[in-house]
Each structure stands twice: as structure tokens, then as C-alpha cells.
Amino acid sequence: MQAALDDGADIPIEERSADEVLVMTGRTKEGAVVPVEIAPDLPTWALGIPLAVFSIALFLLSVREFSRHGTPVRGTEAVTTIVATGPYRFSRNPIYLSFVLLQLGIALTANSAWILLMVIPTFLYLSFGVIDREESYLSRKFGDEYRRYKASVRRWI
């Protein structure tokens, strides 16, 4: 029997913190070098603001589903069940999807190519540094039940 301390996905840093660091890095780069706009003559904020609002709604709906099922949201804590309702019917990782969409929304709202560029390392970190570890953990913990869910619902969208 595993100790309760070992029951988690063993993610090296807090998921939100990683995303926030990458957003801030894009912001810092913009201030350190010549600002580069995504589309200098277009109101990119008209796409960015709705995308950011959508990402926040997706995050809140996803957290609500975890709460309804009585399982913790943090990937470093032991989960009690597989959540396959709400946004989890369409994406195995709607919270991480909301992080990427929020960063994209911020980039468009700020019309910043640097922040947009930082979406790539955010996506890669979440895919390979966080989600792979969580999926390995969930496969070990829930076995065939998780593998069936994984086969029926896409990782992102």
C-alpha cells in the first residue's frame, strides 16, 4: 500500500505558477527588447478579451466539476475519482486548456508577439511536464477505468 504522501502526480511546480511565470516572461521580454505587435493595424483585443473571458469560464466550470465529485483540483494531491462530466466530456484537461487560452487571450489583448510566443513553452511544459505525469499517475491509480476514459476523450480538444 502506498503512503498517502506518494499519492499524487509528482508535478515539480504548481501548474498555475508555471503558466504565470511564462506569461510574465513574455511581458518582461517585451519590456527588455523592442515591443513586437501581433497585428499592428488590427484590434486584436476584440478577439483577446472574449477568449480570456471564455478561458476563465472554462476554468471555473472545470473546478466546479472537481468540487461536485469531491476530488481535489491540485495535480499534486491524491484524486478520489475520474471526473468525466462537464468540460471533461470534451477534454481531459480543460483546466490546462483554459491556461493556454488565457495566455493567448492576454497576448491578443496586449497585441504582444512576445506573450504569444510564450504560448509555445507553456503548451510544451503542460503537455510533457504536467499532463504526462498526471496521466501516468491516473493510469496506475484507476487502471482500465482511466484508460477507457482516455480512449474516449481527447487530451486537449
Question: Is the residue at 4 inside a domain?
Answer: no
Question: Is the residue at 6 inside a domain?
Answer: no
- Grid cell, residue 41, equals 493595424
- Grid cell, residue 95, equals 483546466
Question: Is the residue at 3 inside a domain?
Answer: no
- 75-107 pLDDT, tens digit per residue, is 788 899 999 999 999 999 999 999 999 999 999
Question: Is the residue at 88 inside a domain?
Answer: yes
Q: Report residue 13: phi and psi, to 5°.
A: -140, 160
Using N-to-C axis directions, what is the helix angle for 132-142 and 144-152, rounded to 10°?
130
Question: Is the residue at 128 inside a domain?
Answer: yes
- 47-56 pLDDT, tens digit per residue, is 999 999 999 9
Say how many domains are in the chain.
1
Rg of the Cα atoms in the chain: 17
- Grid cell, residue 123, equals 503548451
Helices and strands (H and E) in the chain: how many: 7, 0
Buried b or exposed e, range 13-51, using 16+ CB within 10 angstroms = eebeebbebbbebbbebbeeeeeeebeeeeebeebbeeb
Question: Is the residue at 118 inside a domain?
Answer: yes
* Local mean pLDDT, 10-residue blocks, the chain (157 residues): 54 57 53 74 94 98 96 88 97 97 96 92 94 94 96 96
Residue 2: per-residue pLDDT: 44
Question: Is the residue at 67 inside a domain?
Answer: yes
Question: Is the residue at 37 inside a domain?
Answer: no
pTM above 0.85, yes or no: no
Q: What range does the domain containing 78 cover?
A: 21-29+43-152
| Residue carrying the nine cell digits 476554468 | 59
